[in-house]
Amino acid sequence: MKSHFILYVSDQKKSTRFYEAVLEQKPTLNVLGMTEFELNDGSVLGLMPSHGIKKLLGDKLPDPLIAQGIPRSELYLVVKNPDKYHSRALRNGAVELSPLEVRDWGDEAAYSLDLDGHVLAFAKVC
């Protein structure tokens, strides 16, 4: 099974550049309306313009742009060097929420907001 986690973004090109820099990888797909990054063997991070999902699903879907900047999701990535990922995110425009520290559940994790207000966490299991 392959899992796709799709974030609705206000500017696909800008968000693509952000995630390219933070993840240090090129997208596996980058076409008008969708950018994808392979996260591991079964997970893909997708970036879709907010207006695209609204057009696709119509008026029954609440407009994602109304909640622009309000955290609506969290992308929690377990990586070998969370401090490096977190630093790259901050250098590329993310806003720090919490620095790297050991959490109650045992992971060491750092939190920020990406360009669209999605919570972005980089962690390692301790």
Tell me the domains of the chain and their CATH numbers.
Answer: 3-125 (3.10.180.10)
pLDDT at 25: 97
Measure the CA–CA gap between 44 and 42, rounded to whole angstroms. 7
Q: Which pTM does this prediction carry?
A: 0.91
pLDDT at 42: 86
Tens-digit pLDDT profile for residues 45-95: 999 998 888 787 878 877 777 777 778 789 999 999 999 999 999 999 999
Count Cβ neighbours within 10 Å for each residue of 54-78 and write b for 16 or more, e otherwise. beeeeeeeeebeeeeeeeeeeeebe
